[in-house]
Structure 1
Amino acid sequence: MTSLGLYIHIPFCRSRCDYCGFYSIGRKPTDRYIDALTKEMDLKSPDFEDRLCDTVYLGGGTPSSLSEAQLTRLMKTLSQHFRISNTAEITMEMNPCDMSESYLKNAMRAGVNRISIGVQEKHDHLLSAIGRRHTAKEAETAVKRAYRMGFHNLSLDLMYELPGQTVKDFEASLRWAVHLPVNHMSIYSLILEDGTRMAQLAERGRLARPSEEESWAMYQAMCRILPAYGFERYEISSFARKGYRSRHNQKYWELSDYLGLGPAACSRIGHTRTENTPGVRLYEKELLTGHPPQQEVETLSDTDEMEEYCFLHLRMKEGIPLDGFRKRYGEGITHWYGDAVKMLKEKKLLKEEAGHLFLTYHGAALGNFVFEQFLLD
């Protein structure tokens, strides 16, 4: 039975973080939204009756803004519409402020077995500066509470290149995080997304960010400290202890099929990529009046898919499986990218070993440059 990943978008936040470019709105979820999600499941699930869902991911927004009753209803409805594997990885993003004992107990009963926690930093003045509502102590307490209650697959997010953040600040955050009972970390540099408050401040010259030298030192600290504490860098931004890689995220990087539900949710089935139109009110209106959600549909050409295959596989530690590439596209990678591969190897940005082509340490640091070489004119 062919596998399928499920992504459910919960685009609600109590307040919007100054750096966040994901689609979300500043209010609590309503039962009407769960009604609309149910209608989308009614419409789309019949096409996937022969699929086994081995990963489920509740992302946002802030999925933990769902009430306990709403979360229970949502998870029950998912299991009624889709065939969920008994060993599925079921991840829910949570804000530390929401992780009360009652909420965690309810999430576990509902079937959640992995939590991704938006921590970002350990220094309260930096958390406040980026618009986060929790303190470092609250985050630490929430992580330890979740582990104590039986959630032993915990991931947390950290950020670097934040305004006012020093290299020592980031190193301290890393050393603090590795001593928490977590087995996965996603580490992101700050990207100024259009329309965010931070992007607006930067345009006005009012955003003090680390220098290039400081940013490089932060990157090196991440690559040095986390592996020293047993966290393998298995993807450019992802580190995990053995056996705890994100199975759902690997579907994105490996070009596996996944179905997204909710406004602004993306899906990829075969060569077809779809994205539901953003807008909670429009989404609810369409579905609750018997119409499918409005969406953009893109059918990837063989060339587009090949480029994407290279970009996404190179993000991972193992890189591009050369036999897999040949079987998928009919020719070896040098047929399409011979000059680029030769140049990148000479610059020591790519390495070939054991049938795989993968980024070197310096190649990972210059990932965007490497990826550009895999664009076909």
Structure 2
Amino acid sequence: MTILRNAGPRAAYIHIPFCEHICHYCDFNKVFLKGQPVDKYLDMLEREVELTLELHPPEEMDSVFVGGGTPTSLNEGQLERLCRIISSHLPLSNQTEYTFEGNPGDLSIDKLEVLKNHGVNRLSLGVQTFDDTLLERIGRSHRAKDVYNTIDNARKAGFDNISLDLIYALPGQTLADFKDTLKQAFSFGLPHFSGYSLIIEPKTVFYNLMRKGKLPLPGEDIEAAMFETLMEEMEQHGLHQYEISNFAKPGYESTHNLTYWSNEPYYGFGAGAHSYLGGWRRSNAGPLTKYMSPIENGSLPVFEENEVTRQEAMEEEMFLGLRKVEGVSKGHFQRKFGVSLDSIFPGQLEELSKKGLLEADGDSVRLTRIGRMLGNEVFQEFLAG
């Protein structure tokens, strides 16, 4: 029984690994910008795109997302070059959601105009908190005033689709602190927010501090209260929760986010980037030299790859799809895999429903509100073994 697959990916993620400052919690693939071979990296990035598209020709793009690192740490000329690479190889249209990540404070008017002139129509800003003391504690280089200035500049440049990333359960953060951050965030009237609890990852400053007992994190009860507050406040301000960590005004849901959670194929270009192409999940080499060297020799910089089995694809359909508030469509599952969802996961559906973590409503299976609080417990049930 074959799995239905799209003719070609309609989404692309492009990784720019350069940062002017490294945050204490960040475990993404990144390097300090100073002294790095940025121009050579862009050359190799373009060649990787060319090599990949020869093997996997693209459809018209629904979404292009440029992340990092800090893509907007590039200078204006480098941003121009990056945008030309994207537009010359990926079929964009006026309907393509074209997003650049940026940090408040490093997006000058000139950089914003470069992006706008090349068709970028969405910005995702890493704000995290509006508390300057907390910003310093987590290693951010911007301050609250920079957020106000950056949003003002972005609007002057013609951007209205702006998303803010917020992080809660930060070291020493109180519920009152988080409520104040939300109050300031809502003051801009923006159409999209992402809200994540802090996760301590290995090989970060915070991980080392935690091991030494020097990281005063809020307890689980406070973290849960912050998530409840996040959901309630977003709803009160007209932003519906369409995925566990994402909230939007109607029509502003992130196409790129939904590509991931809907388990659809996508390109991943750049050092350390991941892709899902032709039923294979691949990750690129992360270190710059290990990324660029194979490309110089005419090969793709694949570090790891595995073909997704039918069983794995069905499991992914569940634990990714259940992140969406609308849940997983039984009809879509049947069309995609040729079998009913109920026949593949009868025990999990029954047990999680009894626990009040899942609910079925017509065609869809989705997390309950309590299930959203305990998402990882639910997702684990759909993993083999």
What's the CA shift for 1:207? 0.4
Counterpart secondary structure, 1:91? strand
Q: Which residue of 2 aligns with 1:73?
A: 81
Counterpart secondary structure, 1:252? helix
1:46 corresponds to 2:28: no
Q: Which residue of 1 aligns with 2:349?
A: 341
Residue deviations 1:70-117 (CA, integer Å, cap 9, x gap): 111111122222222232111000011111111111110122110000
What's the CA shift for 1:50? 5.0
Of 201, 208, 221, 1:200 maps to: 208
Residue deviations 1:240-278 (CA, integer Å, cap 9, x gap): 111001101111111111111111011101321111011
Q: Could you state the TM-score of these two structures normalised by the residue count of structure 1?
A: 0.97
User: How far apart are the structure 2 equivalents of 1:169 and 1:342?
Assistant: 40
Counterpart secondary structure, 2:31? coil
The question of whether the paired residues in 1 share the 8 Å contact of 2:163 and 2:194 is answered with: yes
User: How far apart are the structure 2 equivalents of 1:294 and 1:258?
Assistant: 15
Q: Could you state the TM-score of these two structures normalised by the residue count of structure 2?
A: 0.95
Q: Which residue of 1 aligns with 2:340?
A: 332
The question of whether the paired residues in 2 share the 8 Å contact of 1:11 and 1:24 is answered with: yes
What's the CA shift for 1:368? 0.8
- RMSD, aligned CA: 1.4
User: How far apart are the structure 2 equivalents of 1:113 and 1:340?
Assistant: 41
What's the CA shift for 1:3? 4.8
Query: What amino acid is the match of 1:22?
Result: F
1:299 corresponds to 2:307: yes
Q: Which residue of 2 aligns with 1:251?
A: 259
Counterpart secondary structure, 1:83? coil
1:312 corresponds to 2:310: no
The question of whether the paired residues in 1 share the 8 Å contact of 2:72 and 2:103 is answered with: yes
The question of whether the paired residues in 2 share the 8 Å contact of 1:144 and 1:180 is answered with: no
Counterpart secondary structure, 1:221? helix
1:371 corresponds to 2:370: no
Query: What amino acid is the match of 2:15?
Result: H
Instruction: Name structure 1 gaps, 5 residues minimum.
Output: none
Counterpart secondary structure, 1:324? helix
Where does structure 1 differ by over 6 angstroms across 4 or more consecutive aligned residues?
Answer: none
Q: Which residue of 2 aligns with 1:184?
A: 192
Query: What amino acid is the match of 2:20?
Result: R
Identity %: 38
What's the CA shift for 1:329? 2.4
Instruction: Name structure 2 gaps, 5 residues minimum.
Output: 1-6
Which structure has more RCO (C-alpha within 8 Å, separation ≥ 6)? 2
User: How far apart are the structure 1 equivalents of 2:221 and 2:57?
Assistant: 53
1:321 corresponds to 2:304: no
Query: What amino acid is the match of 2:28?
Result: F
Counterpart secondary structure, 2:95? strand
Bigger mean CA offset, 330-339 vs 97-106: 330-339
Q: Which residue of 2 aligns with 1:9?
A: 15
Query: What amino acid is the match of 1:57?
Result: F
